[in-house]
């Protein structure tokens, strides 16, 4: 089964940028989604962004990060990235990468539909 590993977290001041990476141990052929979620203590895991490969490629962002975060991919490296700009203190969280297979559009934002998860990487936005 595929293994995911995030990297790139750290401490950054408000207004700063970070780029997270999520490397997969193997390539998934088609009809799968690779997503970013985040979680803070005492709260449920929150959807951030997802890219789905199902015929074409499409990306969806949470309203809270739209225009500030950009998801991209390097298929040769089995890696997806999350470029985070104009960071706010409320972006502080553990960020998780996840993969789900054969998801329908209405399922993409919900963590319970994803089968594979990385261990997470801490992002702290603070002055």
**pLDDT tens by residue, 39-74:** 999 999 999 999 998 888 889 999 999 999 999 999
Judged by phi (left if over 0) then psi (alpha if -120 to 50, else beta), residue 112 lies in alpha
pLDDT at 106 over 80: yes
Q: Give the C-alpha separation, 34 to 51, whole Å.
A: 6
pLDDT per position as a tens digit, 80-99? 999 999 999 999 999 999 99
User: What local confidence, expressed as pLDDT, does residue 53 receive?
Assistant: 87
């Amino acid at each position: 089964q595929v293994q995911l590993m995030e990297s790139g977290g750290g401490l950054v001041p408000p207004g700063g940028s970070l780029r997270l990476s999520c490397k997969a141990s193997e390539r998934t052929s088609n009809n799968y989604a690779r997503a970013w979620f985040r979680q803070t203590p005492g709260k449920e895991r929150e959807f951030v962004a997802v890219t789905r490969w199902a015929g074409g490629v499409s990306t969806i962002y949470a309203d809270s990060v739209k225009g500030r975060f950009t998801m991209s991919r390097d298929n040769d490296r089995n890696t997806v990235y999350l470029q985070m700009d104009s960071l706010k203190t409320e972006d502080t969280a553990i960020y998780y990468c996840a993969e789900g297979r054969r998801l329908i559009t209405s399922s993409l934002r919900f963590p319970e539909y994803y089968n594979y998860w990385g261990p997470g990487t801490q992002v702290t936005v603070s002055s």
